[in-house]
Amino acid sequence: MQQTGPDKIRNVALLSHSGSGKTSLAEAMLFDAGAISRMGNVADGTTTSDYDPDEIKHKISINLTILPLNWKNTKINLIDTPGYPDFVGEVKSALRVSEAAIVVVCAASGVEVGTEQVWGYASEAKIPRLIFMSKMDRENANFALTLEQIQSKLNTRCLPIQIPIGSQKEFKGVVDIIAKKAYAGAPVKEIEVPASMAADIDSARDKLIEAVVEIDDEIMTRYLDGGEITTEEIYKCLKASTLQGGIIPVLAGSGLTNNGAAMLLDAIVEYLPSPVTAGSFKAVNASGAEEEVKPAAESPLAALVFKTTTDPHVGKVSFFRVYSGVLSSNSQVWNVNKAAVERIGQVSVPRGKSQETVNQVITGDIGLVVKLASTASGDTLGVKEHPLKLASIQYLAPILNKAVHPKSKADLDKMSSGLARICEEDPSLKAQREADTGELTLGGMGDTHLDIAASRLQRKFAVEVLLDVPRVPFKETITVPVEAEYKHKKQTGGHGQYGHVVIKIEPLPPSGGFEFESKVVGGSVPRNFIPAVEKGIKEARVEGVIAGFPAVDMKVTLIDGSFHPVDSSEMAFKIASAQAFKKGMSDASPVLLEPIMNITVTVPDSFTGDIIGDLNTKRSHVSGMNPSQGMNVIQAQAPLAEILRYAIDLRSMTQGRGTFTVGFSHYQAAPAPIAQKIVAQHKSAAQHE
């Protein structure tokens, strides 16, 4: 691929709701630019972008894919991203290294929930964008209706710069409303503008001109005075307004039939920013201060690793974007985050699953390198003499957790390392050992996300696992104080065993934990055996008397006992204290405690009633509602046992428009029917072990 300067690079994220035609559009653009010799097809699993076995199997994009091409002396790095919401981490990564975005909207389906979500992410990133209305050749395609949705749901400043000629089976091409010229086909050719479209073209052109001239005071004054505005001035104002986000140009076409893709490439080159146009960026220097850095070859190296994956043949692969300086093959760089030297071997430029080796990757460009020792996604590669740390990628917190169980002993041995590498590839996954239950859990953005992770674990690292609903960390406590006594006495022919304790068990306030105290007087229990008494009680409280859950919020006091000068031992007192504790706890009106979570649900106003009704079925307590700009923020408390799959429930109830966060609040006594059910489940599980 030909080398070019930073001013001739465009890094553009392709965003959409799943199934909007984004991958087919990318394929058409690659073909038009000569980057591929024939167009692949999503249904056949032959596209340049979706090459992963899971992508081919499920016929959806799962990973972001770098698709570089050259168009009119400009290198365009298209970053195709998944449209399915479970893989939002890939969208976040792509937006972090892009100066602009193209939001693809299906002309038949209109603005869908995924469209609104990716639009929100692009708005958070504060980057200019284009909208491409795809699938104009599909049944039920309606340009006017979809444009109305775009303007009402996304932004009123989304204005067409093209109008389609016909739709559905009659779709032929598009009209550039500024130049008043019509184009069709691939390779693109100029065709005659239908006379019947003249009024629509003039109307759309007037609205566009009225909006774009606002960017230039002199041109706007002339326009308002009735003066003539040249075509060149309209293009100039449109570019300036697009770069500032004042206007979002809307284009149309079909990726599948390759109609309109070439004109979209023209728009990328003409209206979207280069790394140079985007201007200086901020980085943190060695002193911890923020520094303005110019995106130029002479600036110190600052490259962000935004994706890590594992290739079965070459090992760890790190994708990076150079923000300043140059990253060369066969060199050394400084990992600013890890404060470690990294050896760079051969650097390459990726295109789908293939790659082209290059001597260096310049400012503004994207490349990859293999076998970095300590570098992970989000790390900055720079120079030790002038280290610059770039802002990392902000991933969303996991919303669904599942317990991970190995299928075999061999899988158990490899499971932890395999999960660590899967989470390194996809930082929106989180594996952790739950302290209260001892289970290994994997958290992600939804069912599909976790299922794909399990599939990848098997395919890449030969680890087979089963995913299940995680156990709830119930606990047990007591409600009344009691005294308990136990004498452990056993004669075995030689030295016997003798330990005798009297303890008092008292309830503590919620979150009081566990306390042990000795109030023995007169040496009825020798001092050297008291640690054994404490140890026996602590071990016994790990499995309570109701259903085997840890006992908490209580104080145990050793108040009396007796010993035998020959037969007493640490083991005897440990056994005696454990049995005394179990006996005493059984007599102290024990109750089962369940974890209560704070849950904040954000949903459109129209779903509020459904959400409140559903929360009520989950034994929750709604504490407040705060309406804001068409959304409602509902705050509630609910038992963890009731919301383990809330991510799936909420997505179903709100068509994917609802979000929520969860945090631990406190433990409280479970209602009797719930406690009875849990005890029965515990006994059943114990019988089958």
**pLDDT tens for each residue of 574-601:** 999 999 999 999 999 999 999 999 999 9
> Which pLDDT score, from 0 to 100, does residue 228 have?
85
> Which pLDDT score, from 0 to 100, does residue 688 have?
58
Is pLDDT above 80 for 2?
no
Least trusted range by pLDDT, from 222-231, 277-286, 355-364: 222-231
- C-alpha span between 88 and 489 (Å, rounded): 64
> Which pLDDT score, from 0 to 100, does residue 96 have?
96
**Radius of gyration (Cα) for the chain, nearest Å?**
32
Length of the chain: 689
- C-alpha span between 31 and 25 (Å, rounded): 10
DSSP assignment of 478-496: -SS-EEEEEEEEE--SSS-
Nearest to 502 by CA among 556, 550, 463: 556
pLDDT tens digits along 316-351:
999 999 999 999 999 999 999 999 999 999 999 998
Spatial neighbors of 536 by CB under 8 A, at least 6 apart, are: 573, 574, 575, 576, 577, 578, 581
Backbone angles phi, psi at 92, to 5 degrees: -60, -40
How many C-beta neighbours within 10 Å does residue 388 have? Answer: 26
pLDDT category of residue 50 using cuts at 50, 70 and 90: confident
Least trusted range by pLDDT, from 34-43, 320-329, 393-402, 489-498: 489-498
Is pLDDT above 80 for 562?
yes
- C-alpha span between 154 and 117 (Å, rounded): 10
pLDDT category of residue 58 using cuts at 50, 70 and 90: confident
Beta bridge partners of 430: 443
Bridge-based pairing of strands 554-562 and 514-518 is parallel
Q: What DSSP state is assigned to residue 149?
A: H
- C-alpha span between 428 and 448 (Å, rounded): 13
Tokens of 628: 């804001």
> Residues 84, 17: contact at Cβ < 8 Å?
no
> Which pLDDT score, from 0 to 100, does residue 225 have?
85
Domains of the chain: 6-192+245-278 (3.40.50.300), 281-382 (2.40.30.10), 400-468 (3.30.70.870), 476-589 (3.30.230.10), 592-674 (3.30.70.240)
pTM score > 0.85 for this model? yes
Query: Vertex 382, ends 101 and 274: CA angle to 5°?
Result: 25
With H, G, I as helix, E, B as strand and everything else as coil, classify residue 186.
coil
> Which pLDDT score, from 0 to 100, does residue 630 have?
83
Least trusted range by pLDDT, from 42-51, 195-204, 248-257: 42-51
> Which pLDDT score, from 0 to 100, does residue 52 have?
83
Alpha helices in 47-195 (DSSP H): 53-58, 88-96, 113-125, 143-153
β strands within 17-73, DSSP E: 65-71
Beta bridge partners of 191: 182
> Which pLDDT score, from 0 to 100, does residue 48 have?
85
Query: Vertex 458, ends 455 and 459: CA angle to 5°?
Result: 85
Could you give the C-alpha distances from 517 to 156, 295, 475, 503, in angstroms and in order?
A: 70, 66, 22, 10
Tokens of 547: 């259903």
Is pLDDT above 80 for 652?
yes
pLDDT tens digits along 212-253:
999 888 998 988 888 888 999 999 999 999 999 999 999 999
With H, G, I as helix, E, B as strand and everything else as coil, classify residue 631.
strand
Report residue 472 CA to chain centroid gap. 24
- C-alpha span between 61 and 483 (Å, rounded): 64
Alpha helices in 154-260 (DSSP H): 198-212, 217-224, 231-244
Q: What DSSP state is assigned to residue 572?
A: H
pLDDT category of residue 436 using cuts at 50, 70 and 90: confident
β strands within 364-452, DSSP E: 366-370, 380-382, 400-406, 430-433, 440-444
Mean pLDDT of 452-458: 92
pLDDT tens digits along 361-415:
999 999 999 999 999 999 999 999 999 999 999 998 899 999 999 998 888 888 9
> Which pLDDT score, from 0 to 100, does residue 408 have?
87
> Which pLDDT score, from 0 to 100, does residue 42 have?
82
- C-alpha span between 303 and 327 (Å, rounded): 8
pLDDT category of residue 354 using cuts at 50, 70 and 90: confident
- C-alpha span between 102 and 26 (Å, rounded): 11
pLDDT category of residue 687 using cuts at 50, 70 and 90: low
Helix or strand holding residue 348 (H, E): strand 347-351
Nearest to 349 by CA among 70, 38, 46: 70
Is pLDDT above 90 for 94?
yes
Mean pLDDT of 285-306: 94
> Which pLDDT score, from 0 to 100, does residue 686 have?
65
First to last CA, the chain: 62
Q: What DSSP state is assigned to residue 187?
A: T
pLDDT > 70: what percent of the chain?
A: 98
- C-alpha span between 267 and 528 (Å, rounded): 84
For the four alpha carbons of 186, 189, 192 and 198, in that order, the dihedral sign comes to positive
For the four alpha carbons of 162, 163, 167 and 170, in that order, the dihedral sign comes to negative
Spatial neighbors of 196 by CB under 8 A, at least 6 apart, are: none
Residue with more model confidence, 470 or 58:
470
> Which pLDDT score, from 0 to 100, does residue 187 have?
86
- 94-107 core/surface letters (b: 16 or more CB in 10 A; e: else): bbbbbbbbbbbbbb
> Which pLDDT score, from 0 to 100, does residue 3 have?
59
> Which pLDDT score, from 0 to 100, does residue 76 have?
97
Residue type, 665: S
For the chain, the average pLDDT equals 92
How many C-beta neighbours within 10 Å does residue 295 have? Answer: 23
With H, G, I as helix, E, B as strand and everything else as coil, classify residue 475.
strand
Is pLDDT above 70 for 493?
no
> Which pLDDT score, from 0 to 100, does residue 133 have?
97
